[in-house]
Amino acid sequence: MKILEHIGKIDLDRTESERLESMLNHLHDVSSIVHALDECFSLSITSKDGVILYVNDRFCELSKYDLEEIIGQKHSLFDSGLYPTDHFNSMWHLLKQGQVWQSELHNRAKDGTIYSINATVVPILDQNGCLVNFLSIDIDITDKHQTEKALKQAQKNEFQTTVKHLQNAVFKYRKNEAGHIILTMLEGKLAQKMGLSSNWPRESRLEDLVSKRTFSYAAGYLERGFAGEQVNFELTLLEFVLLVHLSPLFENGKVTEVIGTAIDITERKETERQVKKMAHYDDLTGLANRRQFQKKLTETLHHSAQSQESFAVMFLDLDRFKNINDTLGHNTGDLLLAKVALRLQKCIRRADIAARLGGDEYAILLPSITHEQAQLIAERIQKEISHFFLIENLDIFISTSIGISMYPQDGLEAETLIRNADAAMYFAKESGKNNYQFFTSDLHRDMSNKMMLEREMHRALEQGHFHLDYQPQIDIKTGQTIGVEALIRWNHPKIGPVSPADFIPLAEETGLIIPIGTWVLETACAQNKAWQESGLPPVCMSVNVSLRQFMQKHFAEQIEQILQRTGLSPKWLDVEITESMTADVAHAEQVLNRLRDIGVHVSIDDFGTGYSSLSYLSRFPITKLKIDQSFVQDLTEHHQAIVKTIIDLAQNLNLKVIAEGVETEEQARLLRALNCTEAQGYLYAEPLSSENIKKRLSGL
């Protein structure tokens, strides 16, 4: 619902406006807004036809109606008879135009009494900007209204009698000949509640009745009252927080006395304190939240620009925290996050700011610090976090990766420093976790290259800059081409060929491997079908898939759809996976069984370089094992033993086996001697274009 865009139009008094803005600043839907305002304001939601759909407890308290008596009624239920029948026509007209409406209203309660409210009515729009309902935020000003009436009565010499029965405190003061402020009256139930009304000597000097600190604070406001101003200010007296209003009384154009009213806002100030805490501090850890951190960072930037002092921004991420959440539960994870926060605060200086940005990410602002001092704090944090955490009788061990950026060398703006500290943190993770890294120019260059490469990959996919080459797979004994492996290539129009070793890992990291992998599958299948339709002998098309592709929920169904679109028979497609993809045995078995049912072949690529449980391997519907080229290119006695073991294993499981990276006749001879039946490599052919594969298959 689009409601927050109207909040800026609400024109409450300054205290109420700041409180409302603070509460609503981070809330994004009507239900959370209603929940946040529930204890502070009277609320109602009305349909665009004027029917009351919701009221909270405060609304019922003010109107003295039960909830069941209100819901489904219209606001005419509270008509005080003080307004003409067309009084609210302009209100409905403004609201239906999407504007905020405000007014003081005097409503009649169920028992016939009149209560007063400051009503702000906000239109609630849906995501398309259409009017749905209205939210009314009401502030009870009955006491204020009664006070104003009492002040008017005071001008008719009924002041003393009336104010005794007010809920607020009412007082008068004047100046004596010596210029001292003299309190001449103090009445009202609030004064009695504070124990003041019967204990003060009449015609006393105000500075003798309150502390020096209180009098010093209030004196300037009191003098402004004598100067003829209407004055509002807050005053803390005893354990009460008061909102004081001063109104001068004139005689012959000269101020003779000042009348003051005081309203108890102690509860309101406590609510404001809680709201401020909620807006600026993390509820789980008590640390500053992201908004407060950015505010302090902006202040530090301004100060450091003037003082020419360096400071540091530190980003921290808990290593493998997800494993703890997944295995021990989110409650244990939350307890760990809170204990980490306590240890962080022990490691930093009094002036430093620690914040939780969300999840298991923390940030620390280190003002007025050198590179060497920041390094010491990073080492202290790593040492402290490395000690075990005792949570619910469990010893939990965890480490942290830390990235650090320094002002001014790593950035002159908050956003730049945050981005660079974040980049340094990810570099720390890539460097093996449980370490800290400072941002460097080399890291900046790597980041820039990555960003450029990612941007160009998007463009290459959209504009068709990728293409496939195909490396023949050979029957070692006959030399016949029995299959091809599809290999993606990228020839950038400006920078030239880009190595797969450079862009494939980045595609994996960014998730672009999903659309790229889909394109490779579809292009390879379509090409194989085209070869067959041109009368060439059919061969099997091998296509590598990434872990991200393989872990997709509907991966097998996607392959089936590609085969249907291209018209290629499943028996001419071989999907190559790595051993690491079988780590999640349940998922791997489900996907591989589905591929077998479709009729697609599956090979395990780079076999022997990862870890495979032989018991699970026997359960998977695998067609072929592919011996990694690292064993082939150095066929020492030790490697020959490994290759022979793989070949024997494949034969015992009725699997085919193919060696990749064959480059010399000696390698081919040894593989034949070990009973390897298939191979690919530069000895037989380098990766070829589709046209050259066509010539090869046709015998040209």
Q: Label residue 155 by pLDDT band (50, 70, 90).
A: low
The dihedral built from the CA positions of residue 286, 288, 289 and 291, taken in this order, carries a sign that is: positive
Omega cis (within 30) before 687:
no
Q: Which fold has domain 144-268?
A: Beta-Lactamase (3.30.450)
Taking only the tens place, the pLDDT of each residue in 493-527 is 888 899 998 899 888 888 899 999 999 999 999 99
Distance CA 574, CA 542 (A): 4
The larger pLDDT score, comparing residue 72 to residue 151, is at: 72
Contact 382, 399 (CB under 8 A): yes
Q: Which fold has domain 4-140?
A: Beta-Lactamase (3.30.450)
SS3 184: strand
Mean pLDDT of 286-298: 91
Domain with CATH 3.30.70.270 in the chain: 281-439
Q: How far is CA 166 from CA 193, 230, 236, 237, 262, in A?
A: 12, 21, 20, 19, 11
Q: Which stretches of 281-396 are DSSP H helices?
A: 290-307, 321-328, 330-347, 371-386
281-439 belongs to which homologous superfamily?
Reverse transcriptase/Diguanylate cyclase domain (3.30.70.270)
Domain with CATH 3.30.450.20 in the chain: 4-140, 144-268
Supply the pLDDT for residue 31.
Answer: 66
Using the 8-state DSSP alphabet, how is residue 81 labeled? S
Average pLDDT, the chain: 84
Q: What are phi and psi of 183, to 5 degrees?
A: -85, 120
Domain with CATH 3.20.20.450 in the chain: 452-697
Taking only the tens place, the pLDDT of each residue in 316-356 is 999 988 888 888 888 999 999 999 999 999 999 999 999 99
Supply the pLDDT for residue 612.
Answer: 55
Query: CA angle 29-32-36, nearest 5°?
Result: 135
Strand-pair category, 254-264 with 311-319: unpaired
Distance CA 258, CA 576 (A): 90
Q: At residue 568, does pLDDT exceed 90?
A: yes
Distance CA 288, CA 292 (A): 6
CATH 3.20.20.450 correct for 452-697: yes
Contact 468, 687 (CB under 8 A): no
Mean pLDDT of 215-243: 86
Q: Which contiguous run of DSSP H or E holds residue 116?
A: strand 114-125
Taking only the tens place, the pLDDT of each residue in 397-450 is 999 999 999 999 999 999 999 999 998 998 888 778 889 999 987 777 777 777
> Which stretches of 561-655 are assigned E, i.e. beta strand?
573-578, 601-607, 624-627
The dihedral built from the CA positions of residue 53, 59, 64 and 66, taken in this order, carries a sign that is: positive
The larger pLDDT score, comparing residue 118 to residue 35, is at: 118
